[in-house]
């Protein structure tokens, strides 16, 4: 919790130093875009096989878990368990990701929205891939 507090305090300081006025409230479209981008980036960081080298120092491989995802567990030694738990939990990771994307929207709105749009598109593409696979399985009788 102390790490997260320091992390958000650093972002808050950076936002404050920019001296730009904060929006009165978030726009609904930004909330939807942030939600989709947070979902996709959190799963990409915490579960995707392509990012497993980032998690490897803190986790132990257990096996596959869903399409292109891995089941890993935190290493229980040398204080790596806390970082490992964060890095294998998409719900835990999403708090950090949402905070980062929110700060990014305040500091660099165009670049952040562009990146969030790409992540949202990836989430949509993943959904379509899974739906297509399920439809093929259903129509061909293979499951």
Q: What's the pLDDT tens digit per position in 49-101?
A: 999 999 999 999 999 998 889 999 998 877 778 889 999 999 999 999 999 99
Residue 26: alpha-carbon gap to chain centroid: 20
- The residues with which 70 forms a beta bridge, in sequence order, are 64
Of residues 57, 84, 86, the one with CA closest to residue 73: 84
pLDDT at 66: 85
Give the alpha-carbon dihedral of 89, 41, 104, 7, to 10 degrees: 20
Between 8-17, 26-35, 69-78, 116-125, the lowest mean confidence (pLDDT) is in 69-78
Residue 48: alpha-carbon gap to chain centroid: 11
Q: Which helix (H) or strand (E) holds 72?
A: strand 70-74
How much of the chain, in percent, has pLDDT values that exceed 90? Answer: 83
Q: What is the DSSP letter of 51?
A: G
pLDDT at 143: 63
**Is the predicted pLDDT of residue 121 greater than 90, yes or no?**
yes
For 69, phi and psi rounded to 5 degrees? -125, 155
Tokens of residue 17, six digits: 């130093």
Task: For residues 21 and 15, give the distance between their C-alpha atoms in angstroms, rounded to a whole number.
Answer: 9
* Residues 6+ away with beta carbon under 8 Å from 45: 51, 54, 87, 93, 97
């Amino acid at each position: 919790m102390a790490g997260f507090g320091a992390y958000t305090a650093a972002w808050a300081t950076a936002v404050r130093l920019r001296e730009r006025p904060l929006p009165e409230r978030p726009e609904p479209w930004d909330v939807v875009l942030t939600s989709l981008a947070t979902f996709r980036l959190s799963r990409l960081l915490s579960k995707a096989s392509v990012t497993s080298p980032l998690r490897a120092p803190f986790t132990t491989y257990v096996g596959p878990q869903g399409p292109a995802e891995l089941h890993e567990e935190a290493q229980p030694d040398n204080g790596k368990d806390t970082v490992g738990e964060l890095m294998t939990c998409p719900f835990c990771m999403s708090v950090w990701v949402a905070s980062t994307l929110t700060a990014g929207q305040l500091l660099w709105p165009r670049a952040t929205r562009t990146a969030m749009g790409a992540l949202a598109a990836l989430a949509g593409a993943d959904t379509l891939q899974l739906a297509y696979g399920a439809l093929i399985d259903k129509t061909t009788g293979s499951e």
